[in-house]
Structure 1
Amino acid sequence: MTAIRRPDDEIIAPTDVANLVFDSADRVNAFVLAGHLGPGGFVRPDGSIDLDRARTVLLPRAAAVPRFRQRADTSERVWRWREAAVDPARHIRVVEAASLEELCAGLLTTRLDHAYPLWEIVLVPRLGSGGAGIVIRIHHAVADGLASAVLVAALADTAPVAAGTGARHLEHVGAVRARVGQFRRVVAGPKVPPSALLGPTGGPRSVRFVDVDLTAFRAGVAEAGGTVNDGVLAAVAGAVVTTLSSLGENPPDSVAVSVPVGLKRRRGEGNAIGAALVPLPLGIDDRVERIRAIHASAGPAITDARHAGTFPPMRSRWMMRRFDRYSRSQRTIGLVTSNVPGPDSRIVFDTAPLLDMHGVGTLGGNVRISIVAASYAGVLGLGINTAAAIPADTLADALTKELTAIAAPDTHG
């Protein structure tokens, strides 16, 4: 007997179906936002957590976001979002951890249960001096990194800001051609030579956070004629060279980085992201010249990605399954780096201020490095997620050095 569809059920958009397909036991497809909380509200003065109060405050706010009270039903031919009860014990919990990096690394290898709404808030007591920690994990089928930052604002004390869905629009034939060209570049573009950058990603993850003053960094990049995104990619390029050299490798002159690009959101989509392939000039030692080279290539690549729209495999469950298999042995994309703009001022949860914010992305296919740059309250925080084969501390230290040098060019040469 065919089940009667309730009027509040909604067909899952193709891009979100693809993100559900991309989720697996060895590749948790979720976006993570993590930060430290100061005392206030459910964070007691000693940093302990009043869990009952946290649930009382945060659950109604979460329930106001429609997708936070729906589960993904994949049991039938057509996948649907269905209304589901939010379980306080499952969705808002307390976990002891030595650091947010350690906790995030563990969560990135633990899948969200598809029988429930695909999000959770994890609170960490007594983390830092008189404070606590918070980790908000949201499946990519619910929201991409850009939308996740907006959803986090909906949980804060300030007035909720709804994620814009955008209107449906007809595509010009040029966009279809651009999308085909984009797909060809991913499949048949220049290959990454044998390197630690690509390979099996099973086993434990390592997460590291690094920070730089946003105003100083923006000014340093501007002196070289670049944008903040150009500066992040230039810093990543320098850090990759240092990391590969530490492993005894001779870094190639260039490697392609996949840069997620925000697209116009169609009705019902949680994920509205394209992908730009930007060549990272690993062979350029001078940071100013590196920024200029990236600026010359990144702008057109991002424009092309916006014109192309959704990456073709994201439009079909069948195509994504095939691309999933291909991605585990591909040699075109060397790493993934994304930029998530956050609030200019601090937000608070039940009067507890969020002191800092870092985003952490997933590792896809055989790519072993994912870096998310998130701006928040005047600081640019980078979240590094690496597979076991990458020396995380070496990469984080090198990235810190590169960011600092770009932010203070007169003192670092």
Structure 2
Amino acid sequence: MKPEELNPTQEGSGTRLPSTGGLDDELEPLTAVDASNLTFDADNQVNSFLFAGVLGHGGFVGDDGEIHLDVLRRELELRIAAGGGSDLRRLAQRVSRRGSRWFWERCRPDLEWHVRRDQPVRGLAGLGERCAGLAVERLPVDRPLWELLLMPLEGTADVAMALRVHHAVSDGVGALSLVDFLLGHGSGTRPAASLKDVVHRPRRRRFEFARVFAMVRSRVEPTVLLGPIGDNHGVAFADVELEALRQAAHAVGGTINDALLAAVAVSIRTALEGIGEPVPDPLPASIPVALPGRGGAGNATGVMLVDLPTAVADRRERVRRIAEQTSVGVGLAREQGTYELTRSRTGARLMRWLARRQRFVAVFVTNVRGPERPLTIAGAPLLRACPMAPIQGNVRLGVSALSYAGRLTCTIHTGTDALSAAFVAEALQSELEAMVGTDRS
């Protein structure tokens, strides 16, 4: 369904709530940035953030792994009814169109649809396969744009889960605040980005023009990493102890994010060399950066560009080169704000066209700080947490990282049969372990 054809008033969707007053009580305009995220949706590039995980027995998960959905739905109904910030309101709103404008419309979510049992999966590999399938399944726009799937883990009493939230509802940081609210004891309010990283703005206009025109520059040599995104996606996971990686990163003068980017560079080089493909050097990576203010928008992210040094063999030097860029890149991304072409419908359409042809960025990497304490969902403990951001345009590889309860979990997401997500994940796992091992030696 094309964005221009959105018609979220079909029967069988979330029930529209009666008006409590004027039009403003029923309809809330989408911000330009949030509306642009609807424009970016495509059949093989669903623009949703996915939070996958593994739940142990307790609460709505019986000792034998039986899933008691009625218990879970009652718990979530109470939490959603309690309300909170704008992200939480979206759980009980759907997209509505009036003429040429899009609005959020209040409705009562049908939790029998939004929270449901899915087919069993076999281990983490099976969960990855299901996540890959969800990457090409659109969320229906006649309902609130989220769903929670529960899947028995074959051979165990544990349960896999996949929570999907459309990017029109929230960006990755906001989606994690929703997870914390639904599964934990959070308020549903996203943490504020630090203002200390925002630099002064005398050159902002020049930066804006430069960033728009940058998309037509050819910085990346021909590579399998860029090209049409297919219908067959791949998803695989890697993880490492968070504190061990922090110590290893600090030992070579970087942060956890710098160490992650360095490990991603190695994993991509290893994967490309393994299939006989040339390795771009440097490898331009796009990294989202949380912005300090967003108003009523569900999305408030800037973009930091980092050249990953794939040809540098020395681990310390690789991290150092990345740290030099990120130390100034975060502030610059916050100065520039949201991408200029997402601030209008025409701009979003142009960006979608350019994104499928650009040779400026070769990989997406995102790292979100998650809850430090273990979470539970209706009494069931969350044993493992795995994020998955969408891949879009012509970028066929994305790496999403999330820290949770002492571990950093990375999800590798590919959009082509030419590059194996499992192969990249294996290389990333090996490099992360090597980093930790070097620090411990």
Which TM-score tier does this pair reach, normalised by the shorter chain?
over 0.9
| Equivalent residue for 2:434, pick from 400, 405, 408 | 405
Kept in 2: contact 1:46–1:126 (CA 8 A): no
Match of 1:108 among 116, 130, 135: 135
Per-residue Cα deviation, 1:128-157 (whole angstroms, up to 9, x for no partner): 632111211100011111111111111124
Distance (whole Å) between structure 2 residues aligned to residue 224 and residue 253 of structure 1: 22
Alignment of 1:68-147 (within 5 A): 68-98=91-121, 99-127=126-154, 129-147=156-174
- C-alpha spacing 1:237/1:124, structure 2 compared with 1 (3 Å): same
Residue 35 of structure 1 corresponds to 53
Aligned to 2:203: 174
| CA shift for structure 1 position 173 | 5.3
> 1:39·1:47 contact (CA, 8 Å) conserved in 2?
yes
Which position in structure 2 is the counterpart of 1:237?
A: 265
What amino acid sits opposite 1:121 in the alignment? L
2:15 matched residue in structure 1: none
Could you tell me how far apart the structure 2 residues matched to 1:124 and 1:49 are? 9
**In 1, distance between residues paired with 2:258 and 2:232?**
30
Q: Which moved more, 1:117-126 or 1:175-184?
A: 175-184
Query: 325, 329, 335: which is aligned to 1:307?
Result: 335
Q: Give the CA deviation at 1:158.
A: 2.1
Structural mapping, 1:349-360, within 5 Å: 349-360=377-388
**Aligned match of 2:397:** 369
Give the distance between the partners of 2:79 and 2:231, measured in 1 at CA: 35
Going from structure 1 to structure 2, the CA distance change for 1:215 and 1:22 (only over 3 Å counts) comes to: same
**8 Å contact from structure 2 (residues 259, 319) kept in 1:** yes
Q: Which amino acid aligns with 1:142?
A: V
Going from structure 1 to structure 2, the CA distance change for 1:102 and 1:62 (only over 3 Å counts) comes to: farther
Secondary structure at 1:259 match in 2: strand
- Write the distance in 2 (CA, Å) between the matches of 1:77 and 1:164: 33
Query: What is the DSSP-based 3-state SS (H/G/I as helix, E as strand, rest coil) of the residue aligned with 1:74?
Result: strand
Deviation at 1:165, TM superposition (A): 8.1
State whether residues 216 and 407 of structure 1, in contact with CA within 8 Å, keep that contact through their aligned partners in structure 2. yes
| Residue aligned with 1:356, SS | strand
Q: What's the RMSD between the two structures over aligned residues?
A: 1.9
1:185 and 2:214 matched: yes
Which secondary structure does the structure 2 equivalent of 1:408 belong to?
A: helix
Closer, same or farther: CA 35–127 of 1 in aligned 2, 3 Å: farther
Question: What is the match of residue 293 of structure 1?
Answer: 321
Tell me if the contact between 1:182 and 1:305 (Cα under 8 Å) persists in the aligned partners.
no
1:410 shift after superposition = 5.4
Alpha-carbon shift at residue 179 of structure 1 (Å): 2.5
Structure 2 stretches lacking a partner, 5+ long = 1-21, 194-199
Give 1:7's aligned residue. 25
8 Å CA contact 2:248–2:439 kept in 1: the answer is: no
Identity of aligned residues (%): 37
**Distance change (3 Å), C-alpha of 1:289 and 1:87:** same
Q: Give 3-state SS (helix, strand or coil) of 1:266's partner.
A: coil
Instruction: Name the CA distance, whole Å, in 2 between partners of 1:299 and 1:8.
Output: 44
Native 8 Å contact 1:179 1:310 kept in 2: no
Larger displacement relative to structure 2 (179-188 or 366-375): 179-188
| Distance 1:281-1:274 versus aligned 2 partners, 3 A rule | same
Q: Is the 8 A contact 1:374 1:380 kept in 2?
A: yes
Rounded to whole Å, the distance in 1 between the matches of 2:439 and 2:370 is 28
Q: Which residue of 1 aligns with 2:69?
A: 51
Which residue identity does 1:247 align to in structure 2? I
TM-score by length of 2: 0.88
The amino acid of 2:264's aligned partner reads V
User: Residues 165 and 268 of structure 1 are in contact (CA less than 8 Å); yes or no, is this contact kept in structure 2?
Assistant: no
The one-letter code matched in structure 2 to 1:338 is T
**1:70 partner letter:** Q
Is 1:345–1:377's contact at 8 Å kept on the other side of the alignment? yes
Could you tell me which amino acid in structure 2 is paired with residue 372 of structure 1? S
CA distance in 2, matches of 1:213, 1:274: 28
Q: How far 1:197 moved relative to its partner? A: 0.4
State the AA in 2 paired with 1:240: I
- Correspondence for 2:183 among 150, 156, 162: 156
Q: In the aligned structure 2, how far is the partner of 1:153 from the partner of 1:128?
A: 28
Structure 2 distance, partners of 1:306, 1:106, is 34
What is the CA–CA distance in structure 2 between the aligned matches of 1:324 and 1:265, rounded to whole Å? 25
Structure 1: gaps spanning 5 or more residues: none
Q: Distance in 1 between matches of 2:378 and 2:425?
A: 33
Post-superposition CA distance 1:8-41 (Å, at most 9, x none): 3111011101111111212100000111101111
User: Partner residue of 2:410?
Assistant: 382
Provide the C-alpha distance between the structure 1 equivalents of 2:236 and 2:285, rounded to a whole number of angstroms.
Answer: 19
After superposition, give the CA deviation of every residue in 1:273-320 in whole Å (9 maximum; x if it has no partner): 111111010110111111011111122222211111111111011111
